[in-house]
Amino acid sequence: MFPILQLGPLAIQVPGLILLLGIWVGLTLTERYAPRRGIAVNTLYNLVFLGLAAGIIGARLSYIIRYPSIFIDNPASIISLNPGLLDSWGGSAMAFIAVIIYGQKKNLAIWPTLDTLTPFLAVMAVALGLSHTASGSAFGSETNLPWAIELWGTQRHPTQIYETLVALIVLFIVWPKREIWFTFNPGIYFSFFIAISAAFRLFLEAFRADSVLILGVFRSAQFIAWIALALSLWAIARLQAREKPSSAASS
């Protein structure tokens, strides 16, 4: 685990740095194939950066709304650089709303947009695995398997490595250069990515030691992954049954 990179007086948070690199690599890969799905590169960048900006504002607003008196006493904290004052739920909600509004204004069709963003999401999954490897978060349960790693006081499943390897496999499968991914109806590429990612998450969660439990025994992430898997399989069936857009356009 390698949480901090000390460069002279600067202590750089390696997990955050990896995620930033992931955004850059993901966008670089995604922009190359966006035009083939009818999304202009500028639109793609606007969409992603609007989502990120709205996410950061929403994440901070969420804290300000919950603790108004503290921020009235310390107004400078409203623009504090502390990442601890960013709430992930508030940020996700605001980013989602901003992206939906922008998409509607630009008349972006939802499935081709999601297909366009799929390589970005696949790269971010790899970056997330690497950032967990750097921080030691998302740690595994105790084991005495030969490939166990010493972490947080005991020998554990290297779940961060599993997560990274699986994300790399998924990225390899959904690699956007493959011609086959342009032959399906819009939405199938994205739904397939969600289906395999959810299936792998459902499997790997069993080796985690930090799962949030339901009823004291069931892992909540597995429930969410199972629902995502079911919805994506259903979406693939529905989307495949649709008429191809090319034939629709010619009719």
Partner 1 sequence: MKPDRSKHWILISILILVAGAAWVWVSKASPGSTTGGGIPAPHEGFLAPDFSLQTSTGETLTLSALRGQPLIVNLWASWCAPCRAEMPAFERVFNQYKDQGFLILAVNVTSQDDLSNAAAFAEEFGLTFPILFDTQGEVSHLYQSSALPTSYFIDKEGIIQEVVVGGPMSEALLRIRVEELLNTE
Q: Which stretch binds partner 1 (CB under 8 A): 17-25, 33-41, 163-171, 207-215?
A: 207-215
Residue 218 near partner 1 by CB under 8 A? yes
112-171 positions binding partner 1, by CB under 8 A: 136-137, 139, 141-142, 152-154
Residue 216 near partner 1 by CB under 8 A? yes
Determine how many CB atoms are found less than 10 A away from the CB of residue 62.
Answer: 20
- Which one among 43, 77, 92, 155 touches partner 1, defined by CB under 8 A? 77
Q: What is the 3 state secondary structure string of 109-147?
A: CHHHHHHHHHHHHHHHHHHHHHHHHHHCCCCECECCCCC
Q: Phi, psi at residue 40, to the nearest 5°?
A: -70, 145
Q: What is the DSSP letter of 142?
A: B
First to last CA, the chain: 58
Q: How far is the CB of 249 from partner 1 (least distance, A)?
A: 20
Q: How far is the CB of 203 from partner 1 (least distance, A)?
A: 6
Residues 81-100, one symbol each (x = binds partner 1 by CB under 8 A, - = not), give -x-xx---------------
Total number of residues binding partner 1 (CB under 8 A)?
Answer: 52
In 3D, which of 235, 231, 225, 230 has the Cα closest to residue 188?
235
Nearest to partner 1 of 61, 229 (CB atom) = 229
Contact between residue 110 and residue 103 where contact means Cβ atoms under 8 Å apart: yes
Residue-level length of the chain: 251
According to DSSP, the β-strands at 154-156 and 149-151 are antiparallel
Q: Which amino acid is at 244?
A: K
Residue 237 near partner 1 by CB under 8 A? yes
What burial letters (b/e) apply to 232-251, b meaning 16+ CB within 10 Å? Answer: bbebbeebeeeeeeeeeeee
Residue 21 near partner 1 by CB under 8 A? no
Q: How far is the CB of 167 from partner 1 (least distance, A)?
A: 19
Q: Which amino acid is at 215?
A: L
- Which one among 213, 246, 249, 250 touches partner 1, defined by CB under 8 A? 213
Residues in touch with partner 1 (CB under 8 A)? 3-4, 6, 9, 11, 13, 63, 67, 70-71, 73-74, 76-77, 80, 82, 84-85, 136-137, 139, 141-142, 152-154, 199, 202-203, 205-206, 208-211, 213, 216-219, 222-223, 225-226, 229-230, 233-234, 236-237, 240-241
